[in-house]
Chains A and B, each alone.
Chain A
Amino acid sequence: MLEQWLTSDAAYIIIGLISSMLRMATPLGLAAFGAVYSERAGVVNLGLEGLMLVGAFFGVLGSFLTGNPWTGVVFSLIAGGVMALILAIFTLKFKANHVVSGVALNLLGQGITAVLLVAIWGNRGKSPDVAGIYPVYIPGLSDIPVIGEIFFRQSPFFYMMIAIMIISWFVFYRTKWGLRLRAIGENPAAVDSLGIQVFVYKYLAVVLGGMFAGLGGACLSLGELSMFSRNMVSGRGYIAVAATILGNWNPVGVVLASLLFGLTSAIEMNLQLYGWPTQFVQMLPYIVTILVLGGFVRKVSPPKAVGKHFDRSDTYV
């Protein structure tokens, strides 16, 4: 029975759909961790698009310079971290509006990558091909029917996302750092009154989050295309923001939410194959995003102090 079904067209489509859902979800999930860490510490991160873009660019640059794509990954982590540090300094030190700072970060990301693209490779549109990071067949496991095909022939970025999800969940809910981080996003004054260095946690969380978002960018450039093309993130940063909300700022939740968005993208591609009007089908992920951001899907509870400036001297008045 099973074997018969496995050879059917339906099986082929479904396995393909799930497999591409995982692939499409990976960059979203990685970037969403960026927002989760940052916003759990109380800093709104709408700059995911910009963070992903520099991550994608510097990933390719690292691979281009050294010929080793993993150096590229390190580059993307650093680039994401540095970009996020800018957001942290703007919002925490200079108390700029979080939303405006995030949008500025996106514009900065677009600008920097476009300029460097011309400066380094003299091309307005895209970089040359570089060594990329390709899917890995996990020995043994990848031979399991269906499951192996879906889960164990994925890109290393997918495995990284799963690992970060598990580690993050553990850190958030089982360690003292996680407890403090969660508390800071809710009520920084309370945490400060207990003698904890609130701002150290905030800076670290934003920068760490930026590194994850950079990794999400590298996943697109090194993991998918093996090159950088201008504005290649094309809205995924915003979808990752939506995934953060739908996932209720929980590491496991955001991966599940990313999978939902990944599925809409996968369906979109399949429907295009079946001759649906592309313009309509391409709207799907964005319609889901709007529904999520509009709060139609589920009731979520963001960290209460997110987006608010904390200052010891005026919090206790």
Chain B
Amino acid sequence: MNKQQTQTHPHEPRKTGAQTLAGNLAKFIAPLAIVPLFLTGCAANENPSVLSESQSAGSAALQTISGSGASSQTAAQEAWRAGYSGTVNYDPVGSGAGREAFSSGGAAFAGSDVPFKTEDLKSSFANCEGGIVEVPAYISPIAVAYNLEGVQLKLDAESIAKIFTGKITNWNDEALAELNKGTALPDLKITAVHRSDKSGTTGNFTDYLAQAAPKEWSAGEVEEWPADLNGEAAEKTQGVRETLANTKGAIGYLDASQAGDLGVASVKSGDVFVTPTAEASVKTVGGSSLETGRGSADLAVDLNRTSVSGAYPLVMVSYLIGCEQYKDAATGTAVKAYFEHVISESGQKAAAEHAGSAPLQADAALAEKVAKAVEAMK
């Protein structure tokens, strides 16, 4: 190739090098001129006329608002935004960064897998006059999923803890056989898969183990898998899912909606074994008390995963966080309208269909509490 280039020097008379340069460039670039044609058109699904129509038609044109926070809510936020009349941006930067952006005023609202700590509430929030609103908006059951063909597993907290701490290593273990009488469990190595990144899913999973099997699980509630525990690690929900799907005898925890074709274990709750249904999951949230020392619209749930019999204990609660009263009224109106949409029956249903969450309405009392908190927003 290089040898050819040496012969390309322009020896032709009456044609300056600059012309050659420009001419060659033009010939080469000409086909690229088609590209801007594509660029001038907007994306077909982002028809601007539709947007302006909805904005002008409504008596209260809603201001565009931006929120940021938990990536666990990404799919649900997609569904909520699709069904909402105004424009909302949601930036899945992570719960911590989302809360930080909200308190510094960088985001009008936040999505977070954990509520603000009570000591953080003393500091002022840039967008707010006074207190904040925190409502459970996205309740997602976490499934203990496994790759064992034709087996419907039953597990209790102790056996789950033992599997994930490496004390139970084979599917034919006696403890598992005891729980699954009548089911033939294979002689197969157990590959326990956990999340390698920091996640609310891991936080809720370990919180469950710490509450329900304190003897077997000593690491407490941690968002990052304890470094001293071995096991297979995978990145994010999809990493876990991919690993489970590709590995016979693997077991892991992930959003129930993402379990797909994998087996999903029934988990012991009280005296019965419960699958991660919407009703059973919301029951856990409804049966838990609220954290004390907070404002009336600050619904931080102190999840009790052991005392509600028949409730599915492995749930993740993700919050929407906003101001009780916004300094900017237009922002307040828009955020309130969005929150109302999110917690409404249709909003919760949309999230359930698209993201596999459990609708709040499965527990009428809880839904009412949440609606009341949002109602108070200004």
- Chain A complexes with chain B: no
User: Which of B's residues lie within 8 Å of A, judged by CB?
Assistant: none
Interface positions of A (Cβ within 8 A of B): none
